[in-house]
Amino acid sequence: MNLGRKNHVHISKFISLTVLIIIGLLGLFAPLIMPHDPLAVDISKRFLAPSWDYPLGTDHLGRCVFSRLLLGIRYSLGSVLIIQIVATLLAILVGAFVSLKRGIIDFLFIRICDILLAFPTLILAFGLLGLLGPSLKNVILALILTQLIYYSRLIRSLFIGINEKDFIQAARISGTSGVKLIIRHYLPNVWTPIVTIVALDVGKVILEIAGFSFIGLGVQAPLPEWGMMVNEGKQYIRQHPELMLYPGLAIVLVVLIFNHLASSLKRLDQ
């Protein structure tokens, strides 16, 4: 990669990270920024047009759409970050253990992964939600488990790929083993592809959470998750399409930013 192209990629990555940090801060400080209580119902103010008091108007129950979008960052983006971080950390533990032990443990692990990965992620998640019941907590748990299966196998493959490298053998000869070997020698050499794949999957997980909320299996009313907001607005799509448009655009924006960030990381690794 030439210097000019590399600088361009670094700038793109910086812009993507900056926008994501701003969105994250908006969600974090939403209670201080929101002009109105996002859960307060006032039928007398339903379907108000955008104004200084209500920047994006109100919905069918007279609730401030702008306030609900801000608070929705916590449920939509916050849930995804919890899922990806927890699934990745657990997958590193599982993948490292299996790749270092090998033998019958590795064989059984691969067979179990083959069986589970034969089903689409959403099918597995639907099955788990059928057992656990609809709620945001159960959606998070179901998606952590489905992501864990895929990431564990991926990390196992990455670790096995560098098992016989000279620097790994030298570290073992010098007495480094266990957690120290993983942290000091394995992870620094596989971290970039892991982060790239995890970042690329964020968009998919956001859409899955929104999808589950849209069909009533995720966040339950009146909490303002973006998928739930799209679901609530669909019955008014002819008269007030903006009720679906605002949360829909928020989902698309965040997904595109994460995809762009993942692409930047991938280009830097080439």
Other CB atoms within a 10 A radius of the CB of residue 43 amount to 8
DSSP-assigned beta bridge partners for residue 58: 64
- CATH code of the domain occupying 3-269: 1.10.3720.10
**Cα–Cα dist 132/66, whole Å:** 32
Confidence at 6, pLDDT banded by 50, 70, 90:
low
What is the share, in percent, of the chain residues with pLDDT greater than 90?
24
**Cα–Cα dist 49/242, whole Å:** 10
In tens, the pLDDT along 107-131 reads 888 888 888 877 777 777 778 877 8
Residue 1, pLDDT above cutoff 70 = no
- Max Cα-Cα span within the chain: 75
Residue whose token pair is 């609730």: 63
Q: Is 89 helix (H, G, I), strand (E, B) or coil?
A: helix
CB 134 within 8 A of CB 220: yes
Output the CA angle 132-138-141, nearest 5 degrees: 110
In tens, the pLDDT along 15-65 reads 888 888 999 999 999 999 999 999 989 999 999 999 999 999 999 899 999
Q: Name the residue ranges covered by the structural domains of the chain.
A: 3-269
DSSP at 221: T
Confidence at 208, pLDDT banded by 50, 70, 90:
confident
In tens, the pLDDT along 71-90 reads 999 888 888 989 999 999 99
- pTM for the model stands at 0.84
DSSP at 186: I
What are the phi and psi torsion angles at 64 (to 5°)? -70, 115
- What is the model's pLDDT at position 67? 94
